[in-house]
Amino acid sequence: MPKVEMEVAGLSRPPTEFHNAFVVVLREKHGHRRLPIVIGFPEAHAINVEIEKFRHPRPLTHDLFINTLSALNVSLTEVTIHKLQDSTFYAYLILDTKEELIEVDCRPSDGIALALRAGAPIYCEEEVLQKAGQPGTEEEVEETQRRSTSSRGATREELERLLEEALAREDYETAARLRDELRRLKRKEEEEDE
């Protein structure tokens, strides 16, 4: 099955009230499709730490794993998201021991956090992208950005309408921003009423 190279487009909170849930959005490196994956807070933190290049004084778990591989002269060559079953994504790591390639099962979120640290490519099987990927064009990306920036100063009703539209498009990044803006507006209205 052909694989498509992906890159991390960003992290966001899903618009619904999932407790401690985040969405990591992967996008096609040489295309416009996106793949949103719901992950937990610890995994989102591990990914964000590497995206922001924040360095802890002591190694975190994913740093420890990469350091251990390095000490053993093993390298992480790729991470592949290869299956979607019952709304769960499955992935594997490919480790190069210099003698053989070893495939190790992992959660996509952990694989992404490790790939970012190792500078390894992230792939997604074409079949998985066809099932769960979101098609996108440059025009859609530009429209999303326009709607996002045009929401500043909007009324509550306008923000709610934009949020519904973003959810219908499954554009969780924009929806999360709009949800946060609605919350700020609500707090401001409550403060003015006091």
Alpha-carbon span 117 to 7, nearest angstrom: 13
User: What is the total count of domains within the chain?
Assistant: 2
Residue 192: its pLDDT value, please? Answer: 79
Domain co-membership, 98 together with 184: no
Last residue of a domain, one of 87, 102, 132: 132
Domain co-membership, 142 together with 189: yes
Residue 17: its pLDDT value, please? Answer: 56
Q: What sections of 124-171 are H helices per DSSP?
A: 126-132, 138-150, 156-168
Residue 13: its pLDDT value, please? Answer: 77
Weakly modelled stretches of the chain, pLDDT under 50: 143-151
Domain co-membership, 53 together with 128: yes
Domain co-membership, 61 together with 105: yes
Nearest to 15 by CA among 132, 174, 159, 147: 174
Residue 148: its pLDDT value, please? Answer: 44
Task: Indicate the pTM of the whole model.
Answer: 0.69
Domain co-membership, 126 together with 186: no
Range of the domain at 98: 3-132
Instruction: Give per-residue pLDDT as tens, 26-53.
Output: 999 888 899 999 998 889 999 988 988 8
